[in-house]
Structure 1
Amino acid sequence: MKSREPLIVAVVAALLFASAALIVYFIVRPAHQATVTISGLELSPTPTNPPPTITPTPVTRDAASFPITITDGVGRRVAINALPQRIVSVGPGLTEWVFDLGVGQQVVGNGASDVYPDAAQNVPQVGDERNPDADKIAALKPDLVILSDNATARDAMTALAGKGIATLLFAPADITGVIAEGQALGQALGVSATANALGRAMQNRVDAVRAKVGGQSKRPLVFYEVDASNLDAPLTVAPNSFVASMILAAGGSNYVNATALAQPTPGSDNLDAALAPTQVISGSLVAVSLSDLQQRPPDIIILGDASVGITADEVKSRPGAWQNLAAVKNGKVYPIDDALLHPGPRSLDGLEQLNRMINGE
């Protein structure tokens, strides 16, 4: 019996050592490894998500410039008492600006359509740019809120002001307004130097497009398709829309101009109803009759509905008069990512793409 004691002690010691090693392993193991094999025994612990890591803000922010008063995009003077640390931005372009300015880590809420950059998808949603939810916004305890201007946003702004929350409204009408928006946001976020550098780079790109447009002999007529669910009355953009301003800046002529607009009639929001040749559907959308497209054929068709699967081939296969439109017969039907035509930093990419399409590059 005594001769076996050393063996038993050795076995017990080995088991204790293996147990200790196993415990230490699970304490220090990499978070991504889920399966371990020790002495032929496979263990599959329940994976756990590592705690979120916080990295330093990638820009230097100027806290000393606060308190500050900002003029927002609709001319309101808004006081911001201290460097914002909890920001809610609602609107794709606005959220893109905050991230481009290097302050994305301070975003605690945004809109349902604010999906760029990818990091913007990891914060709570508080409605969308047309319908921001003031209660959800206030619950996040922001010290600065940035909204796209509309009637609902103004109601939200009033409610938030009652809680002492500073709110900025923006609604740039064109690419120049987008650059100005970035400058104002740079001031509001304490990153004016970054905003100024981005603004100069954007202006250089705008100037390059303008130089090319200045050399054009004529402006082609551009039909920007928003929705052609009703092939007899496809939707396009109104002349006062941001997209129309981009078409103009890129060297084209928007299909619908101010003098072509008919007065809205009862039932005009029903696309199956009889429509005038050109009919206002909403503030920024217009329905154009197919007969109008035949009588005044566009030189170029740009597919703003490409994001829902509409292609040039699909347009070519449409029945009747569609196949006889000059833009279709001449192969001048181009898809575009409509996200590039929201007012925001990436709208410069959209402007350059439009310019290449219009110039046939």
Structure 2
Amino acid sequence: MTVGHLLPVCLWRIVLTLLAWGWVAWALAQPITVIDDRGRTVTLPAPPQRVVSILPSLTETVCELQQCHRLVGVDRYSNWPAAIATLPRVGGGIDPNIESIVALRPDVVLVAVSSRGSERLEALGVKVVALEPKTHADVQRVMGKVAQVLGLPPQQAQRIWRQIDAAVSAAAQSLPPEVRRLRVYFEVNRAPYAAGASSFIGETLARLGAQNIVPAELGPFPKLNPEFVVRANPDVILVSERNFPDLTERPGWGRIRAVREGRLCVFPNEQADTIIRPGPRLAEGARLLADCLRKHAQP
């Protein structure tokens, strides 16, 4: 007869609960070592309880992992979810407020590889982990890395990614075959900078079946000569509300089919933020793009 049979059921449940809490306490006491996207090895003495994020996609990832409560500061551009609205703002990736960050006494600061200030923070004794998702595969990988930094089981990140990936596939399957004939141009900035085929936005458009007029060899987000877009003559133009003013008035753009026929998707800024951030709202961004393509799929 096992010990389990000797103990009353209620007492056995208490024992199991205590064992589980003991495991959690043990896990929380263990050091964490990660290799970030700079190739640097970062060791934390224990899972961080005070986290600063200065990249919106990383902020959103922390919250998607149900750890918003660990955030003590975020960058000025992080605006989702609503739970972070009252957190202190510590500048942006190119102009982080080092003094404000240090004053928050973070256990770790999450930054993009391209962020400035990492070396200064590290010189001041602050742990910095640099992670920068650029593709769908990166979104999956970075979610796993953030979970690792936070001391969470890898299965938690894996489960979230499976849900995201399945939702992107569902968005693609919801579209009519006519979408595959659409040649599209996605403008991310008025310079103009475009979302090329090799960007995560380009990957989403490809999964939805659309043809990107900006080839992969130009890079993920190339700056284009406006005449390039005129010559490419896209069927549909996708742009944020903040970047839309005067777009149709650019020299020669009146000849573009998308402009001539009003085949434009102008996303409110909140929706545009969802689409242009390579993070856990990737599936929501795919649904927004799918709605646009569906609207203009008919000849």
TM range (shorter): 0.7 to 0.9
Amino acid at match of 2:273: A
Q: 1:259 and 1:157, CA in 2 relative to 1: closer, same or farther beyond 3 A?
A: closer
Q: CA offset at residue 300 of structure 1?
A: 1.0
- Which residue number in structure 1 is paired with residue 11 of structure 2? none
Match of 1:188 among 149, 156, 159: 149
Answer yes or no: is the 8 Å Cα contact 2:180–2:211 preserved in 1: no
Q: How does 1:257-268 map to 2 (within 5 A)?
A: 257-259=215-217
Q: CA offset at residue 321 of structure 1?
A: 3.8
Q: 1:210 and 1:227, CA in 2 relative to 1: closer, same or farther beyond 3 A?
A: closer
Match of 2:272 among 338, 348, 354: 338
Answer yes or no: is the 8 Å Cα contact 1:302–1:334 preserved in 2: yes
- Which residue number in structure 2 is paired with residue 165 of structure 1? 126
Answer yes or no: is the 8 Å Cα contact 1:89–1:147 preserved in 2: yes
Answering whether residue 289 of structure 2 is matched by residue 354 of structure 1, we say: yes
Answering whether residue 183 of structure 2 is matched by residue 221 of structure 1, we say: yes
- Which residue number in structure 2 is paired with residue 31 of structure 1? none
| Larger relative helix fraction | 2
Corresponding residue pairs, total: 268
Contiguous gaps of at least 5 residues in structure 2 = 1-20
- Which residue number in structure 1 is paired with residue 209 of structure 2? 251
Q: Structure 1 CA distance, aligned partners of 2:256 and 2:208?
A: 22
Answer yes or no: is the 8 Å Cα contact 2:196–2:218 preserved in 1: no
Task: Tell me which structure has the larger Cα radius of gyration.
Answer: 1
Answer yes or no: is the 8 Å Cα contact 2:179–2:294 preserved in 1: no
Q: How does 1:1-361 map to 2 (within 5 A)?
A: 62=24, 64-65=26-27, 66-150=30-114, 152=116, 156-192=117-153, 193-209=155-171, 218=180, 220-228=182-190, 234-238=192-196, 241-259=199-217, 284-289=221-226, 291-304=227-240, 306=241, 308=242, 310=244, 318=249, 321-336=252-267, 337-340=271-274, 341-360=276-295
- TM-score, scaled to structure 1: 0.64
> Which has the higher relative contact order, 1 or 2, with Cα contacts under 8 A spaced 6 or more apart?
2
Answer yes or no: is the 8 Å Cα contact 1:62–1:190 preserved in 2: no
Amino acid at match of 1:252: A
Answer yes or no: is the 8 Å Cα contact 2:110–2:130 preserved in 1: yes
Q: Secondary structure at the match of 1:132?
A: coil
- TM-score, scaled to structure 2: 0.76
Q: Secondary structure at the match of 2:121?
A: helix
Q: Secondary structure at the match of 1:69?
A: strand
Answer yes or no: is the 8 Å Cα contact 2:50–2:72 preserved in 1: yes
Q: Structure 2 CA distance, aligned partners of 1:216 and 1:81?
A: 55
Answer yes or no: is the 8 Å Cα contact 2:239–2:265 preserved in 1: yes
Q: Structure 2 CA distance, aligned partners of 1:62 and 1:215?
A: 50
